[in-house]
Amino acid sequence: MTQIKRVAVIFPGQGSQTIGMMDELAEQFDVVRTTFDEASTALGVDLWEITHDETRLHDTKYTQPALLTASIAIWRIITPILAHQDIKPAYLAGHSLGEYSALVASGVLSLADAVCLVHERGKLMTDAVMGMDTQMAAVLGLEDEQVASLCEDATENAGIVDTANFNSPAQVVIAGTQVGVTHVLEAVEALGKKAVPLKVSVPSHCALMKPASDKLAELLAQTTFHQAQIPTIQNRHAEIHKSTNDIKTALIEQLSMPVQWTKTMQELADKQIELVIECGPGNVLSNLAKRQETPITALPTDKLARLEKLENLHES
């Protein structure tokens, strides 16, 4: 029998949402609907209904609170499952939007405050690029520095484009104006490498988000933050911030600066984490965990069959 000792929980970001994403778990666990009811009451929007409405689910101002609520519902499912096995997560982390889910799970933010924050965050992001042609794309097979250099060249000669997510070695997401991103994609193709355009409504984590970042700072200043009950690694520097001011600053900067997910996963590996549990819809982060320089075993939790594995960690 293998004794699992070092566990971290990670929360996915935008792009993991799917229609009916919580239906299977809702049939088995009442906490799913009660969590959605709690979040819907706080926001004044029926978030459960949004998980079944394709148009609104992919509108970022609704995507963000719906996905956060789904992640927290799963967190409330898995917490007693882990406790029954005498397992307490050593660390939390979240990818982009998922950072807010992690901060709710750690006790820094209430669910009510968090869903309202990310709803406004989504609106600010949309407003920041209103009327612009923008794009995001995943670049595969190049070093981080190569992608950054291509973005700098494109910004000088075509249009604004930045590195947005450092997801794993040889996978970097870029974001910016459509002309800028296209310039980079053409350069990537000329190098014989692959790039995949992403279907997103706004270009996150790039310079175009600076106006949204400034307005987000005003919202965060009005929001009550508490001390974290579980150490949470934030995207901006792949570091744990203890003061509430530092946590807020990292959230503000995160919106217009790249997500340091590769460094976050390496930080977990350096802390001898043996298992990362993906707490939210899908398995995007679990797949990325396999591609890191120091891979960590990962377990998604959005399906009953996957939860069964979680219930028997010491026997696996």
Q: Are residues 215 and 157 located together in one domain of the fold?
A: no
Among the candidates 178, 201, 224, a domain finishes at: 201
Element (H, E) at 184: helix 178-190
Residue 96 among the catalytic residues: yes
Q: Are residues 87 and 158 located together in one domain of the fold?
A: no
Q: Give CA angle at 203 (44, 276), nearest 5°.
A: 75
Tokens of 102: 């992690």
Q: Are residues 234 and 304 located together in one domain of the fold?
A: yes
Q: Are residues 229 and 195 located together in one domain of the fold?
A: no
Distance separating alpha carbons of residues 145 and 229, to the nearest angstrom: 36
Q: Which of 95, 119, 183, 205 is catalytic?
A: 205
Q: Which of 16, 40, 71, 96 is catalytic?
A: 96
Q: Are residues 189 and 290 located together in one domain of the fold?
A: no
Per the CB < 8 A criterion, the answer to whether 13 and 281 are in contact is: no
| Cβ-based neighbour number of residue 84 at 10 Å | 9
> Which domain, by its residues, includes 20?
7-128+208-315
pLDDT in tens, the chain (316 residues): 356 679 999 999 998 999 999 999 999 999 999 999 999 999 999 999 999 999 999 999 999 999 999 999 999 999 999 999 999 999 999 999 999 999 999 999 999 999 999 999 999 999 999 999 999 999 999 999 999 999 999 999 999 999 999 999 999 999 999 999 999 999 999 999 999 999 888 999 999 999 999 999 999 999 999 999 999 999 999 999 999 999 999 999 999 999 999 999 999 999 999 999 999 999 999 999 999 999 999 999 999 999 999 988 866 5
Q: How many CA atoms lie within 13 A of 63 on its CB side?
A: 23
Q: Are residues 19 and 120 located together in one domain of the fold?
A: yes
User: 16: domain CATH number?
Assistant: 3.40.366.10
Q: Are residues 166 and 227 located together in one domain of the fold?
A: no
Report the domain count for the chain.
2
User: 179: domain CATH number?
Assistant: 3.30.70.250
